[in-house]
Structure 1
């Protein structure tokens, strides 16, 4: 099994990448706010201060794009005889428990793809004669 990131358009993807750009403990966000909302910028109208903060935050997304570090969701595929077989799309936040994401994706593929792609039995280590589940 293989997975690659694909970038989903929309607000959720934008927010996720900006949050990642903030860094651990939002250090970068705190730095941006401190740079643009401090006694030295007190003479600026609040609208301008807010706009400067907004621009700096949006630049985090642009920097991640420039550095090719945008993150998205997953497209899961299997390789067989030199071909890629695309099996499902998956979110990083599948289910309630982040530790079970791979299990959820595995079950989705097991229940939705084995009939169409029998070579998956071997790749997934599933007995073709097992009728349970």
Structure 2
């Protein structure tokens, strides 16, 4: 399989990022020391990761932590267990969340939308009810709410329920083939087309297998 033959011009925030074959090769070798895993990462997957690392500061190690968890049952993931897509057109493919500090706000929003934060605020106000509205008491109230918010995040982490964005991959013959990195809100057909394109470029033998899922 020929790897890293394309040069990409990526437009992000009105700035153009140029990614050469040399860039991708050095990036993949540096961050993925296991050659067996590296051989099952599509060029598109590595390009997605390279772009996120160089435009929004995403730490690639967070993604490779999830890859290690997928490859080895001994390594524990902090995010939700990998899940198979059940609806077309992605049916039969898999996705795994990865976490970064960029997603802390999203995890807190999920916890808060389930009504947990209202209970924390209610308990905090009840605790300070009847006390004078001094600066010290107001600070203490805000601190209790903040600590409660932090506890919500920690509980999601302890339950391996942290959410982030997706590593999209295929499982074939007990091996994972990592296709791309995508956002939850991306249209399913766009993700599927991206996967098929990755297969045609890097894993041509997988095309009929993945197409058979539909």
Partner of residue 40, structure 1: 129
Matches within 5 A, 1:74-93: 74-93=166-185
Partner of residue 103, structure 2: 13
Listed as ranges, the gaps of 5+ residues in structure 1 are: 95-99, 127-133
User: SS of the residue aligned with 1:29?
Assistant: helix
For 1:26-71, what per-residue CA distance to the aligned partner results, in whole angstroms no more than 9, with x for missing partners? x221111111124626446211111110000111000111112111
Deviating 4+ runs (over 6 angstroms): none
The reply on whether 1:22 has 2:112 as its aligned counterpart is yes
Distance 2:197 2:137 in 1: 58
* TM-score of the two chains, using structure 2 as the length reference: 0.49
Listed as ranges, the gaps of 5+ residues in structure 2 are: 1-92
* TM-score of the two chains, using structure 1 as the length reference: 0.75
User: SS of the residue aligned with 1:48?
Assistant: helix
Shift of 1:93: 2.5
Aligned length: 116
Partner of residue 121, structure 1: 207
User: SS of the residue aligned with 1:93?
Assistant: coil
Partner of residue 33, structure 2: none
Alignment check: 8 A CA contact 1:75 1:89 kept: yes
Alignment check: 8 A CA contact 1:41 1:49 kept: no
